[in-house]
């Protein structure tokens, strides 16, 4: 009897506990579905973030690969040719002369005596020095006039540098600025060559004057009188 009551009580307890088990199983199933939906949503979010990052990178690549619509390069060839031409004139010995070597040797032959009048040679030496100096001054004046156009180029580059939109445009602006620096160095070299021509022409004139004077002095002291043939001249001879 006692065992029967225990069995009945056990069955009753099992009967009472059955509905909660069903409810727990249903809740667990719903919870699992919610977790699956949440994971799916997270996957979608990660995909959306990846897509947004890809779009951002593509936009950045397009922006950074964009070229400038127009670039500014100064007329360096025309400027250099103008400077090379303006230093030539008169008897100037400018650096841009094709036959500079032969002209220099002709104007300043060095130590030696010449039968030509000294004043004629001195006039050529002084005129050569003056014309070469004048050419250097003309070159400086021309570069002073070119500064206005160069300033406008720099203003344009400054405006472009402030409005660049991307790495490629910035690199192109930097390239133009570097090109302008090279142009300025080339013009500076031409001014230096013109200045050197002027100084060396003056130095050559001074040395040539001294050399010609010393050569004339040497000839004077080395002069020997003509030897008489013994013929005498008398009054009444015809």
Give domain status of residue 232, yes or no.
no
Q: Are the CB atoms for 131 and 170 separated by under 8 Å?
A: no
Q: Are the CB atoms for 195 and 94 separated by under 8 Å?
A: no
In a shared domain, residues 198 and 91: yes
User: Per residue in 77-116, pLDDT tens?
Assistant: 888 888 889 888 888 888 888 888 888 888 888 888 777 7
C-alpha separations of 47 from 34, 38, 54, 97, 195 in Å: 20, 14, 10, 73, 71
Give domain status of residue 150, yes or no.
yes
Residue 206 pLDDT class (50, 70, 90 cuts) = very high
Q: Are the CB atoms for 147 and 94 separated by under 8 Å?
A: no
Give domain status of residue 140, yes or no.
yes
Closest CA to 94 of 187, 11, 191: 191
Q: How many domains does the chain have?
A: 2
In a shared domain, residues 147 and 57: no
Give domain status of residue 95, yes or no.
yes
In a shared domain, residues 54 and 102: no
Q: For residue 3, what pLDDT is reported?
A: 44
Q: For residue 7, what pLDDT is reported?
A: 44
Give domain status of residue 70, yes or no.
no
Distance of alpha carbon 203 from alpha carbon 207, whole angstroms: 6
In a shared domain, residues 31 and 81: no
In a shared domain, residues 8 and 48: yes
Give residue 132's domain range.
76-221
Its sign, for the CA torsion 97, 102, 106, 110, is positive
Residue 229 has pLDDT above 50, yes or no: yes
C-alpha separations of 27 from 24, 38, 59 in Å: 5, 16, 48
In a shared domain, residues 161 and 198: yes
In a shared domain, residues 5 and 116: no
What rounded mean pLDDT belongs to the chain? 77
Q: Does pTM surpass 0.75?
A: no
In a shared domain, residues 93 and 4: no
Q: Are the CB atoms for 96 and 106 separated by under 8 Å?
A: no
Q: Are the CB atoms for 119 and 82 separated by under 8 Å?
A: no
């Amino acid at each position: 009897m006692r065992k029967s009551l225990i069995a009945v009580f056990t069955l009753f307890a099992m009967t009472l506990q059955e509905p909660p088990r069903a409810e727990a199983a249903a809740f667990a199933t719903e919870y699992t579905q919610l977790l699956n939906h949440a994971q799916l949503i997270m996957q979608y979010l990660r995909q959306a973030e990846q897509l947004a990052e890809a779009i951002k990178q593509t936009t950045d690549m397009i922006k950074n690969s964009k070229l400038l619509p127009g670039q500014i390069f100064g007329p360096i060839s025309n400027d250099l040719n103008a400077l090379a031409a303006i230093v030539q004139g008169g008897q100037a010995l400018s650096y841009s002369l094709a036959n500079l070597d032969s002209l220099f040797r002709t104007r300043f032959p060095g130590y030696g005596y010449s039968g030509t009048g000294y004043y004629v040679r001195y006039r050529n030496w002084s005129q050569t020095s003056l014309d070469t100096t004048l050419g250097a001054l003309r070159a400086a004046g021309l570069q002073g006039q070119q500064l206005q156009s160069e300033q406008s180029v720099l203003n344009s580059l400054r405006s472009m540098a402030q409005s660049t939109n991307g790495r490629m445009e910035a690199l192109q602006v930097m390239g133009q600025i570097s090109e302008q620096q090279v142009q300025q160095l080339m013009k500076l070299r031409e001014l230096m060559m013109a200045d050197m021509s002027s100084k060396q022409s003056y130095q050559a004139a001074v040395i040539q004057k001294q050399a010609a004077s010393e050569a004339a002095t040497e000839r004077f002291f080395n002069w020997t009188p003509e030897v008489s043939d013994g013929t005498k001249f008398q009054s009444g001879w015809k």
